[in-house]
């Protein structure tokens, strides 16, 4: 079973272990009968530590990413917390991207800096800047590729080399690409984090996250921390993520094709000052993305609207087919204004985003109808 599409359907499925059920059932149980009053050596014990529904999803996630193991957690932020708790410490240092999801910024800046884990924000597309940001105390280099919401592309293999030469680990947030388009472990990442709320779940009906480890040792440590922290995914959520994954290849193929068309349309629109989409040849990371991502450039397109932040806000509010809502990676198309919504806490910081920027997550609707909706929304001012 080697192809991605086949793994997406079958990896981690064990009907014989579940009374022949073709899909892993939802084990809605907090605790499991133990045979002896002894520490656990095998079998199931307590769902905070491990649960059969979650375990089958974790096996699937590891198989999709080419990792040694995976932990499914309650949200993308739970994935980030689990990694930072397991591998950060006071006196240490982490390099983060100068364009990073607002929640990850909050965590590093508001929580971990207070506990003594220093950080430096660097342009991950500039290898000299990354090298200059790494210190002797650097424990982790954190990358996000493509980044949220500017779609910057990081050369994961080159940054992995820089991190490893300094004795640090490389973490890649692969949420925007999903494992269908990009598999960072093969490029040298030690850990891959995902918000499975997005493409892996795919239907805007759960929050979830994942941490995939390149080695069994690292994976065991991440699993131990997830158990201690209680960040693990609940059985029902784990089941919905596993179901979403079955259609991931088909969904990604369609959203990549539609996003490419939306990006090309926006690039020629007089109300648009700039388009950020790695599938456009003018994007500075286009060639790197073509090499590093397979089968497309993702379903998120960001556009800078002429007329400033208020004009951009009006475009969101005029959209009809695009739903004005945060999040991305679902079957329905969404539009939002990062500087006022997902990234509002980054204003005036090294990771701030332009006020006139809109982030579009392309769903499975008809591409012509999406373009017509964007056209009418842009034409209003
Ligand atoms: C790149 C990225 N990482 C992490 C997260 C956090 O995920 P969640 O909202 O599932 O906690 C998000 C959410 O938008 C994201 O876009």
Q: Is 123 among the catalytic positions? A: no
**Whose CA is closest to atom 5 on ligand 1?**
76
pTM metric for this prediction: 0.97
Q: Write out pLDDT tens, residues 251-304.
A: 999 999 999 999 999 999 999 999 999 999 999 999 999 999 999 999 999 999
What percent of the chain clears pLDDT 70, i.e. is strictly above it?
A: 99
CA pair distance 73, 259, nearest whole angstrom: 29
Residue 74's pLDDT is 98
**Residue from 155, 173, 190, 373 carrying the catalytic annotation:** 173
Which atom of ligand 1 is least distant from the CA of 78?
11
The full 3-state SS of 67-82, as one line of letters, equals CCEEEEECCHHHHHHH
The full set of domain ranges for the chain reads 4-245, 248-379
Residue 327's pLDDT is 98
Q: Is the dihedral of CA 297, 299, 304, 309 positive or negative?
A: negative
**Whose CA is closest to atom 8 on ligand 1?**
76
Per-residue pLDDT of the chain (381 residues; tens, 9 = 90+): 589 999 999 999 999 999 999 999 999 999 999 999 999 999 999 999 999 999 999 999 999 999 999 999 999 999 999 999 999 999 999 999 999 999 999 999 999 999 999 999 999 999 999 999 999 999 999 999 999 999 999 999 999 999 999 999 999 999 999 999 999 999 999 999 999 999 999 999 999 999 999 999 999 999 999 999 999 999 999 999 999 999 999 999 999 999 999 999 999 999 999 999 999 999 999 999 999 999 999 999 999 999 999 999 999 999 999 999 999 999 999 999 999 999 999 999 999 999 999 999 999 999 999 999 999 999 977
Question: What number does CATH give the domain 4-245?
Answer: 3.40.640.10
Helical axes 216-229 vs 76-87, angle rounded to 10° = 110
Alpha helices in the chain (DSSP H): 4-10, 52-65, 76-87, 102-106, 127-133, 156-165, 178-181, 184-187, 216-229, 235-245, 248-267, 286-292, 308-318, 367-379
Residue 2's pLDDT is 86
Indicate the class that CATH gives domain 248-379.
alpha beta
Residue 380's pLDDT is 78
Q: Is 89 among the catalytic positions? A: no
**Whose CA is closest to atom 14 on ligand 1?**
327
């Amino acid at each position: 079973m080697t192809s991605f599409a086949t793994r997406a359907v079958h990896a981690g499925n064990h009907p014989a272990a579940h009374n022949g059920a073709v899909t892993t059932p939802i084990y809605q149980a907090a605790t499991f009968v133990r045979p002896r009053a002894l520490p656990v050596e095998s079998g199931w014990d307590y769902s905070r530590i491990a649960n059969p529904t979650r375990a089958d999803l974790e096996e699937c996630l590891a198989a999709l990413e080419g990792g040694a193991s995976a932990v499914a957690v309650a949200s993308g932020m739970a994935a980030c917390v689990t990694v930072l708790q397991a591998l950060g410490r006071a006196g240490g240092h982490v390099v983060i991207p100068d364009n990073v999801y607002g929640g990850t910024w909050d965590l590093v800046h508001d929580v971990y800096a207070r506990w003594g884990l220093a950080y430096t924000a660097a342009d991950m597309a500039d290898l000299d800047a990354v090298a200059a940001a790494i210190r002797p105390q650097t424990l982790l280099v954190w990358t996000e590729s493509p980044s949220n919401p500017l779609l910057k592309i990081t050369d994961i293999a080159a940054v992995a080399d820089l991190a490893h030469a300094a004795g640090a680990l490389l973490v890649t947030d692969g949420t925007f690409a999903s494992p269908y388009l990009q598999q960072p472990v093969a490029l040298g990442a030690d850990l891959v984090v995902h918000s499975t709320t997005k493409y892996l779940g795919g239907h805007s009906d759960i929050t979830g996250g994942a941490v995939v480890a390149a080695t069994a040792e690292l994976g065991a440590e991440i699993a131990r921390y997830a158990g201690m922290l209680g960040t693990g995914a609940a059985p029902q959520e784990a089941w919905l993520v596993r179901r979403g994954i079955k259609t991931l290849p088909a969904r990604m193929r369609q959203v990549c094709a539609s996003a490419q068309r939306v990006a090309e349309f926006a690039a020629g629109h007089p109300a648009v000052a700039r388009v950020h989409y790695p599938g456009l040849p003018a994007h500075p990371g286009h060639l790197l993305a073509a090499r590093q991502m397979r089968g497309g450039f993702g379903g998120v397109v960001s556009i800078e609207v002429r007329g400033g932040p208020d004009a951009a806000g009006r475009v969101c509010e005029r959209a009809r087919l695009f739903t004005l809502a945060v999040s991305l990676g679902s079957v329905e198309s969404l539009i939002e204004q990062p500087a006022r919504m997902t990234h509002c806490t980054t204003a005036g910081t090294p990771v701030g985003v332009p006020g006139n920027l809109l982030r579009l997550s392309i769903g499975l609707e008809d591409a012509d109808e999406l373009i017509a909706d964007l056209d009418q929304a842009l034409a209003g001012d």
